[in-house]
């Protein structure tokens, strides 16, 4: 599935729609160039989970941010600065991925062999000055059902 977002607020709205259908243990992987809208989409997902989007940032040095005040625990991974995949087990990533919350991972390619086999992947790319193209790919039955819900409820 592919969606064109026409603005920052449009991208955040897509995130809020995604959040409606998330359940514990869901993993969303966001890839794309710097500035393509990964953090904006993450903020939208957080808003949809009743988490203050102001608290969701793309920090230069914090790899995992935990948000425990919303509808579900929300774990935001920003792996941009991760240097070596050998550091991943020390993060305790499995407790986040397979625990009681939702994990959103920016720069999932940095996970290497630790990338989840089943997840919803969204690739964001530039489609103009303010427009972004979001390409969705579902791996696993849970994520195919999630993508079906998103597709049926997105107003694009």
CA distance 147 to 70: 22
Which tens digit of pLDDT belongs to each residue from 67-96? 888 999 999 999 988 888 888 888 888 899
The DSSP H or E segment spanning 152 is helix 141-153
Question: Band of the pLDDT at 155, cuts 50, 70, 90?
Answer: low
The whole-chain average pLDDT of the chain stands at 91
Nearest to 19 by CA among 155, 156, 110, 154: 154
Over the range 113-147, which residues count as b (16 or more CB within 10 Å of their CB) and which as e? eebbeebbbbbbeeeeeeebbbebebbeebbeebb
Show the domains of the chain with their CATH numbers: 2-153 (3.40.50.300)
The structure's pTM equals 0.92
pLDDT at position 61 over 70: no
């Amino acid at each position: 599935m592919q969606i064109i977002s026409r603005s920052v607020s449009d991208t955040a709205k897509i995130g809020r729609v995604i959040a409606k259908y998330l359940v514990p243990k869901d993993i969303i992987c966001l890839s794309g160039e710097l500035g393509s809208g990964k953090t904006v989409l993450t903020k939208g997902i957080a808003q949809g989970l009743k988490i203050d989007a102001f608290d969701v940032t793309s920090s230069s040095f914090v790899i995992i941010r935990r948000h425990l005040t919303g509808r579900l625990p929300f774990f935001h991974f920003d792996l941009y600065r991760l240097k070596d995949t050998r550091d991943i087990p020390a993060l305790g990533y499995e407790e986040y991925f397979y625990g009681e919350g939702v994990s959103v991972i920016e720069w999932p390619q940095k996970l290497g062999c630790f990338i989840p086999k089943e997840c919803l992947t969204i690739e964001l790319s530039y489609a103009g000055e303010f427009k972004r193209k979001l390409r969705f790919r579902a791996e696993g039955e849970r994520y195919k059902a999630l993508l079906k819900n998103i597709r049926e409820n997105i107003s694009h």
